Structure formats: structure tokens, C-alpha cells
């Protein structure tokens, strides 16, 4: 085991998959000599050359469209969209082509494609470098959506995504890149897509979350533990497909639930999770289903004070825990 941050774990996963499978290629804006805007692909072009680490024009639609074609030709492309905020020009390629390839060909064709993109706020990125896009894409059948929160999960899930026969949108919360550090296995390993994990066991209520909000939730859980409130924290890891059994089992253990996500409240993934719980575990609940999320504002503020006010954080989660525990 070696202590690494999320960015190092992602780079290691890319390196290992490139080395073990010659079909793997990486393509995107500045992924070559520059090593990506966050340096996720730094040094890879020196080891694998420009035919496998491919700098592309600034055209998200072309990046994903060409990657789809490459996947159909036998490659396993990893397309990097520099920021999730810029993914919208590629929406038609992702939704209408990649996600529907297996269905439209009656299983004759698959689209083994990974689209990596940094998402989320908390680094003063303002309007065009802070968006959370997961709810939009988790709505698309045929597309898997993954959002790891820790270095070990980032590596294991990315390796699984690269080996998956169908398209995967791999969301990397940019605030976790260098902030979150933990031990990562040195040996080759993968983690299954579609499986949540209990990041903290507890008895009194459950928090269901993912991405950077996992770490805010864990901090809040530790703080209220001194008050006698024992909180279970479930890290979804994969947002589509959701791990329904893990969600329901956690709620049935604790009988109260808070859903935390950075995306805006209305239409966020929390609404779908709440619907699952209300439909299949309503009779086990001892309180209302609570959501902690960003407000329905057009964008994340650039100003640091306003950004902090906008985002869910430890203090807001603590407040929700205390109110629900007392219900």
C-alpha cells in the first residue's frame, strides 16, 4: 500500500491500463505534452507516444465523436473533457450515439468508451469551471456514471470503467484531486461498477452521498458522534446504475436518512434516491427523507465567501443531522 492523492491514483490507473492493453488510447485537449490541465496524463506521452496519447482540437463534440468511432474500430478510448462545464457540445454524441449503440445494433456493436471529466466546485472556478452534471447524465439509459471520492476507489473504478464493454462517464471531483490522500494498493486491482460502500457504519441515521460530499459528511458524522448521534455514511461511488440494495439496507438499519449532494436541489440525484426509499422502504422510516444540496441558482459564485455560502458543507450537514436525529 502506498499513500497517494486522487490525481496520482488516476494517473496510475491510466498508466497501467495503457501498459497492459494496446487497444487503450487517450485523447483530448492538452492531454499530450502538457499532461492535461490538472496533469492527470503527465508523462504518459513519453512512454506511449503521440499515437496513443492524442492531443485533439478544442471541440468536445469531435473528441467524443472520434472516440466513439475508435471504440467501434476495436480501440478502448479514454476521452478527456477538460472541465465538465464544457461537455454540453458533446451531449448529442454521448446520449444519441454512445449510450444507444448496443440497443440500436441489437447487441451487434458495443461502445467501450470512457469519458473522464473533472466536475464540482470549491476551488473558486466560478460559472464555467464548477458545474455538477451528474443528474443529467444519470438519466440516460445505456450510460454508466461513476463518481469516486477516494484515491483507492478512483483507481479501482477507473480500471473497471476502461475494461467495461459499454460507455462510462467518469466524474472526478476536482477538489479531491490533491486534497484527498489515502492508501492505495500497489497490486493490480479493480472495483465493481454499480456497488456502493459503507464509509462509516452507524445506528441512528444514514447519510447517502458521493464525491466531495462524502468527506464533508464524514467530518459532520465525527463531530456529532461526540453528542451521541451515530451516523452511517454510504458512499454511492456509482450513480448509474444506483446500488438500490445498499441504499435500502442502510435505511432499514437506521430508519432515518439524509441525502447529500453538491448539485442543485431540484432535479438532483437526491430526488431519485428519495423516490426509491419512499417506494420500497417507507414503512421502515422514523422521520422525513431529508436532502442537503446546493440551492437552485444558475451557477456557483466565484467569490469565495459566496461560494462557501452556496455549497453544502460540514456545518449544514451537521445541522440536518441534529434536526433529523431529534425528530
Q: What is the CATH number of domain 197-325?
A: 3.40.50.920
- 289, 239 in Cβ contact below 8 A? no
Q: For residue 192, what pLDDT band results from cuts at 50, 70 and 90?
A: very high
Note whether 2-184 and 197-325 share their fold. Answer: yes
Spans of all domains in the chain: 2-184, 197-325
What's the chain's average pLDDT? 97
**Mind telling me the catalytic residues?**
129
d(CA 186, CA 300): 37
Q: What per-residue confidence (pLDDT) applies to 93?
A: 98
* CB-based contacts of 110, cutoff 8 Å, min separation 6: 71, 101, 102, 165, 166
Q: Which helix (H) or strand (E) holds 6?
A: helix 6-20
Nearest to 211 by CA among 188, 229, 236: 236
* CB-based contacts of 249, cutoff 8 Å, min separation 6: none
Q: What per-residue confidence (pLDDT) applies to 285?
A: 98
Q: For residue 300, what pLDDT band results from cuts at 50, 70 and 90?
A: very high
Q: What per-residue confidence (pLDDT) applies to 239?
A: 98
- 245, 213 in Cβ contact below 8 A? no
Mean pLDDT of 144-171: 98
Nearest to 14 by CA among 82, 196, 39: 39
For CA atoms 22, 27, 6, 236, the dihedral sign is: negative
The architecture (CATH level 2) of 2-184 comes to 3-Layer(aba) Sandwich (3.40)
- 321, 221 in Cβ contact below 8 A? yes
- 235, 210 in Cβ contact below 8 A? yes
Q: Taking the complete model, does pTM exceed 0.95, yes or no?
A: yes
pLDDT tens digits, residue range 245-276?
A: 999 999 999 999 999 999 999 999 999 999 99
Amino acid at each position: 500500500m502506498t499513500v497517494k492523492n486522487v490525481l496520482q491514483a488516476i494517473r496510475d490507473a491510466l498508466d497501467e491500463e495503457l501498459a497492459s492493453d494496446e487497444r487503450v488510447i487517450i485523447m483530448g485537449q492538452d492531454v499530450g505534452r502538457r499532461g492535461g490541465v490538472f496533469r492527470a496524463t503527465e508523462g504518459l506521452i513519453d512512454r506511449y507516444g503521440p499515437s496513443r496519447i492524442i492531443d485533439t482540437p478544442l471541440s468536445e463534440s469531435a473528441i467524443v465523436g472520434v472516440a466513439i468511432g475508435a471504440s467501434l474500430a476495436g480501440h478502448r478510448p479514454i476521452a478527456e473533457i477538460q472541465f465538465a462545464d464544457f461537455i454540453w457540445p458533446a451531449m448529442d454524441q454521448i446520449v444519441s450515439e454512445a449510450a444507444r449503440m448496443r440497443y440500436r445494433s441489437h447487441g451487434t456493436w458495443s461502445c467501450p468508451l470512457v469519458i473522464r471529466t473533472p466536475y464540482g466546485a470549491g476551488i473558486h472556478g466560478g460559472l464555467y469551471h464548477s458545474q455538477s452534471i451528474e443528474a443529467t447524465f444519470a438519466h440516460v439509459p445505456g450510460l454508466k456514471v461513476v463518481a469516486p471520492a477516494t484515491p483507492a476507489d478512483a483507481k479501482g473504478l477507473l480500471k473497471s470503467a476502461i475494461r467495461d464493454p459499454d460507455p462510462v462517464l467518469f466524474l472526478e471531483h476536482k477538489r479531491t484531486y490533491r486534497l484527498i490522500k489515502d492508501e492505495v494498493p500497489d497490486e493490480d486491482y479493480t472495483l465493481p461498477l454499480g456497488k456502493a460502500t459503507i464509509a462509516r457504519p452507524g445506528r441512528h441515521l444514514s447519510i447517502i452521498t458521493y464525491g466531495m460530499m462524502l468527506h464533508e459528511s464524514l467530518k459532520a458524522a465525527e463531530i456529532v458522534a461526540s453528542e451521541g448521534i451515530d451516523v452511517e455514511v454510504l458512499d454511492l461511488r456509482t450513480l448509474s446504475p444506483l446500488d438500490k440494495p445498499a441504499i435500502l439496507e442502510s435505511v432499514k438499519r437506521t430508519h432515518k436518512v439524509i441525502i447529500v449532494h453538491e448539485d442543485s436541489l431540484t432535479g438532483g440525484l437526491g430526488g431519485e434516491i428519495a423516490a426509491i426509499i419512499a417506494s420500497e422502504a417507507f414503512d421502515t422510516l422514523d422521520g422525513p427523507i431529508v436532502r442537503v444540496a446546493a440551492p437552485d441558482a444558475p451557477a456557483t459564485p466565484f467569490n469565495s465567501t459566496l461560494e462557501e455560502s452556496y455549497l453544502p458543507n460540514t456545518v449544514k450537514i451537521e445541522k440536518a443531522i441534529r434536526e433529523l436525529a431529534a425528530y
